[in-house]
Amino acid sequence: MNANIIRCARAVLHVTDLDASRHFYVNVLGFIETEADETHIYLRGLEEHTHHCLVLKKADEPCVEALGYKVTSGGDLKALSKIFERKGFTTKWMKKGEQHAIGETLRVQDVNGMPLEFFAEMESAERMLQRYDMYKGARMQRIDHFNCMVSDVEGGYDFYRNELGFGCSEYTDTENGNIWAAWLHRKQTVHDLALMNGKGPRLHHIGFWLPDPLAIIHTCDVLAASGFAEHIERGPGRHGLSNAFFLYLRDPDGHRVELYNGDYLTSDPDFKPIRWDINDSMRQTFWGHEAPDCWFNEASPVLDVLTGAKVETKPAKLKQHKPSFVI
């Protein structure tokens, strides 16, 4: 039984200081604050018609609670539950009302231990796309993708492709033909999910779509003028993989955010995945500049969906030589 996963749709991040996080995400980056309480802030982009795409949840330590995907219906949630349970995974159901503004959800750890969440219903919110008077900061439009650092890229690639119906837009392989990194999608763009070879499971970054490359340049000026220049980790630049324009930031808790614009459509059924050789330097950055070491080594820990404890990380299955770039 197949399940119709539409797109990546929301993330739940634990942060240590809600006021500091609000200033960074709302005042500097330009997210819309839909709602907040003493322990949560619910954020969305200007283009989004749903209640939120990002939940900032107050906690003692920064980590990742869940990476959420929207599905078409409750029937798809049941189908997904059967898929995971048939493979020996333990699932967790959360009833409507257990989480604010969202319907019934299914949570499960994926084959590499990343905490996933699937839902069909979320409360609506006013779409601000043409409220240009509300644009500020990075002019944040919508959530675009998750990038996950995992110990077994090939195992994840096979599971998302064969069991969950993801397509592949681009991939990097080694001299031995092993998949080093993969860009997988459900919506008709380059990716909803990237799998990156490394110590995991950890969240490398969440990618958010901006209206144009100039918005990324403008964001650099806003960050500098707001005292956040040191939060710029990498870029701006253009990816070789995906051809997109990018900027990587670290939020006050160290969670990595990518501001992203300009990839391409993957909707044609005869689209063929693009292969990149691991020794092709243009795969890292089309213009040739290298990423800092922290970009390859640092990422956010994730939680077990059943116990709430941090998931123990494992070393990469493939031997590390020169780090590979993933977007």
Boundaries of every domain in the chain: 5-119, 139-301
Is the per-residue pLDDT at 214 higher than 50? yes
Is the per-residue pLDDT at 204 higher than 70? yes
Q: Which CATH number fits domain 5-119: 3.10.180.10, 2.60.40.10, 3.40.920.10, 3.30.300.30?
A: 3.10.180.10
Place of tokens 């837009």: 169
pLDDT of residue 77: 97
**How far is it, in rounded angstroms, from Cα 31 to Cα 29?**
6
Banded pLDDT at 326 (limits 50, 70, 90): very low
Q: What is the pLDDT of residues 24-80, one digit of tens each?
A: 999 999 999 999 999 999 999 999 999 999 999 999 999 999 999 999 999 999 999
Banded pLDDT at 319 (limits 50, 70, 90): confident
Region 220-245 average pLDDT? 95
Q: What is the pLDDT of residues 250-297, one digit of tens each?
A: 999 999 999 999 999 999 999 999 998 887 776 677 787 888 999 999
Asked whether 266 and 169 are in contact (CB, 8 A), the reply is yes
Domains 5-119 and 139-301 share a fold: yes
User: How many percent of the chain have pLDDT more than 90?
Assistant: 87
**How far is it, in rounded angstroms, from Cα 39 to Cα 16?**
10
The overall average pLDDT reported for the chain is 94
Region 181-209 average pLDDT? 97
**How far is it, in rounded angstroms, from Cα 178 to Cα 318?**
8
**How far is it, in rounded angstroms, from Cα 16 to Cα 170?**
36
Region 167-194 average pLDDT? 95
Region 193-220 average pLDDT? 97
**How far is it, in rounded angstroms, from Cα 120 to Cα 122?**
7
Is the per-residue pLDDT at 20 higher than 60? yes
Q: Return the CATH superfamily for domain 139-301.
A: 2,3-Dihydroxybiphenyl 1,2-Dioxygenase, domain 1 (3.10.180.10)
Asked whether 205 and 240 are in contact (CB, 8 A), the reply is no
3-state secondary structure the chain: CCCCEEEEEEEEEEECCHHHHHHHHHHHCCCEEEEECCCEEEEECCCCCECCCEEEEECCCCEEEEEEEEECCHHHHHHHHHHHHHCCCCCEEECCCCCCCECCEEEEECCCCCEEEEECCECECCCCCCCHHHCCCCCCCEEEEEEEEECCHHHHHHHHHHCCCCEEEEEEECCCCCEEEEEEECCCCCCCEEEEECCECEEEEEEEECCCHHHHHHHHHHHHHCCCHHHEEEEEEECCCCCCEEEEEECCCCCEEEEEECCCCCCCCCCCCEEEECCCHHHCCCCCCCCCHHHHHCCEEEECCCCCCECCCECCCCCCCCCCCCC
Residue 182 bridge partners (DSSP): 171, 195
**How far is it, in rounded angstroms, from Cα 222 to Cα 27?**
10
**How far is it, in rounded angstroms, from Cα 209 to Cα 207?**
7
Is the per-residue pLDDT at 163 higher than 70? yes
Region 195-222 average pLDDT? 97
pLDDT of residue 167: 97
pLDDT of residue 324: 43
